[in-house]
């Protein structure tokens, strides 16, 4: 099966600019996640979608970050305006889990490395 696709792989922007990342999950996976991974740290969940509804966005900085998953398939994460501390790898993951499959693992894309200067 095709894996989780993310683009772009790398992005360099100046602070206060905007940026968008795209993710296409594994076909049929209902749950999609965006994680932020700062250098030297573990991934931190930003937002979780179940189909096209938001399950958890408690750690998403909503004043600058937004995400959508139209039609319950691919997703876009946007940052506007970017800050220096947003420099990180943004990982998209998908999972087949539903209420009956809580043990389903996450399948990750290769991430987008964002550098804010």
Partner 1 sequence: AQSVTQLGSHVSVSEGALVLLRCNYSSSVPPYLFWYVQYPNQGLQLLLKYTTGATLVKGINGFEAEFKKSETSFHLTKPSAHMSDAAEYFCAVKGGGFKTIFGAGTRLFVKA
Residue 106 interacting with partner 1 (CB under 8 A): yes
Of 28 and 40, CB closest to partner 1: 40
* 57-61: long-range pairs with CB below 8 Å, 24+: none
Residue 31 interacting with partner 1 (CB under 8 A): yes
d(CA 104, CA 96): 6
**Please, are residues 81 and 90 in contact by the beta-carbon 8 Å criterion?**
no
**Please, are residues 83 and 65 in contact by the beta-carbon 8 Å criterion?**
no
End-to-end CA distance of the chain: 37
Residue 25 interacting with partner 1 (CB under 8 A): no
* Footprint (CB under 8 A) of partner 1, residues 79-98: 91, 93, 95, 97
Closest CA relative to residue 90, chosen from 53, 28, 43: 43
Residue 48 interacting with partner 1 (CB under 8 A): yes
Query: Which residue from 28, 41, 70, 71 is in contact with partner 1, where contact means CB under 8 A?
Result: 41
Query: Which residue from 11, 24, 43, 94 is in contact with partner 1, where contact means CB under 8 A?
Result: 43
Q: Which residues bind partner 1 (CB under 8 A)?
A: 4, 31, 33, 35, 40-45, 48, 55-56, 91, 93, 95, 97, 102-103, 105-111, 113
């Amino acid at each position: 099966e095709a894996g989780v696709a993310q683009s772009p792989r790398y992005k360099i922007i100046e602070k206060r600019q905007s940026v968008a990342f795209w993710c296409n999950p594994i076909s049929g996976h209902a749950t999609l996640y965006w994680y932020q991974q700062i250098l030297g740290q573990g991934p931190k969940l930003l937002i979780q979608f179940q189909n096209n509804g938001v399950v958890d966005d408690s750690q998403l900085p909503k004043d600058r970050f937004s995400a959508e998953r139209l039609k319950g398939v691919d997703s876009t994460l946007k940052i506007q305006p970017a800050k220096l501390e947003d420099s990180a790898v943004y990982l998209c993951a998908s999972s087949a889990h539903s209420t009956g499959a809580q043990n389903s693992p996450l399948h990750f894309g290769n991430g987008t490395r964002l550098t804010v200067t």
